[in-house]
Structure 1
Amino acid sequence: MTPGDSAAASHDGRNPDATAPHGAASDAVAPHGDVSARLEPMRRRHVRACAELEQVLFARDSPWPPAAFHSELDLGGHYLVAVDGSVRDGDEHVLGYAGLAIMGKRGDYETSLHTIAVRPEHQGTGLGKALLRAVLAKADELAAPVLLEVRTDNDSAIGLYEQHGFQRLGVRKGYYQPSGADAYTMRRDAITGERREDGH
């Protein structure tokens, strides 16, 4: 991930432009090249494509199988996909995805960015940043802090997260397996109603 968008990301924050309760479909549209991607809730029909993309992007860091995505959907996480084409026309394609786990209860929510990824050919287009902002908007709606893990050698991803208010809390040695790569734990504080009104 880069502030300009690119690179390779994560489960638990590997990288927005990877190379980591469902609401209504998002109206967000992210430009990438000559087409626009729709951001919408992840459905069961999207899982296979997401799991296949995991194998491409995260082969060294325990890519999620379909069962992992199904489990996250069962738990009520806020999972989005970026798609183009349409189901009706039979040409719908998943270009990327992002997932936010939601824990706790009303008034005391906590969230965790579990995964975010973009197909290699669509990296560097702003799509990863759009997915990140969309899931962060859900956390803001809940006035919840957001936690994530990101590889310590992924400078572009770290920069993008810091650009969006995340701060490093510490290092988790050997967090990513089987590669053995270390991870930073990062946190973005809850955005309260007052802070939103102030624009901060």
Structure 2
Amino acid sequence: MNIRNALPEDCPQLARLEAEVTQLPWSAAQYAGSLSAGHRFWVCEDEGGIVAWAVTLSVLDEAELLNIATAAPRQGRGLARALLDALCAGLAAQGCTLLRLEVRESNTRARRLYTSACFTESGVRKHYYRSANGREHAILMEKAL
């Protein structure tokens, strides 16, 4: 397993992979725009290609986790946790002291991951996400780095 910065040519693959695992996936154009805007992309790859990825935005000494996912066939194998640990260490090395994120209230698997990685709940954005049943709350979480 190798963790590296994403390249522009990774964007179509990231969009294809994310379309398999999320309700409202980013498009290749959204990934490319995010990359060109200076967001930091982290990809985890093995001999078969990209298997997990994350996007962060840093402002001064704080960062926000904008997106993190694992390819469907590779979920449940600790890849997201390894990637999360690596990006936390990388952000801390760059001088970031806090990482924030938001997660769908119904995404209990991700919430367990974040809690196990020492994130704590810091608030709620009511009716933030669109869902099949209307709207869903976003749980805000943060971690000191």
Say whether the fold is shared (TM-score over 0.5): yes
Larger radius of gyration: 1
Seq. identity, %: 29
Residues of 1 paired with 2:115 and 2:46: CA distance? 29
Q: How does 1:20-35 map to 2 (within 5 A)?
A: none
**Does the CA-based 8 Å contact 2:58-2:96 persist in structure 1?**
no
- SS of the residue aligned with 1:177? strand
Q: Which residue of 2 aligns with 1:97?
A: 53
Q: Which deviations, in whole Å up to 9, do the C-alpha atoms of 1:84-103 show, x marking residues without a partner?
A: 23xxxxxx522111111111
* 1:44 corresponds to: 8
Matched-pair contact (CA < 8 Å) for 1:166–1:186:
yes
- Does the 8 A contact of 1:175 with 1:182 survive in 2? yes
Report the TM-score, using the length of structure 2 for normalisation: 0.88
Residues 10-39 of structure 1: CA deviation (Å, up to 9, x unaligned): xxxxxxxxxxxxxxxxxxxxxxxxxxx211
Query: Which ranges of structure 2 fall in alignment gaps of 5 or more residues?
Result: none
Deviation track 1:78-132 (CA, whole Å, cap 9, x = no partner) reads 21111223xxxxxx5221111111113xxxx210001111111111111111111
| Aligned-CA RMSD value | 1.6
Bigger proportion of residues as helix:
2
Flag structure 1 segments of 5+ consecutive residues without an equivalent: 1-36, 86-91, 192-200
Match in the other structure for 1:32? none
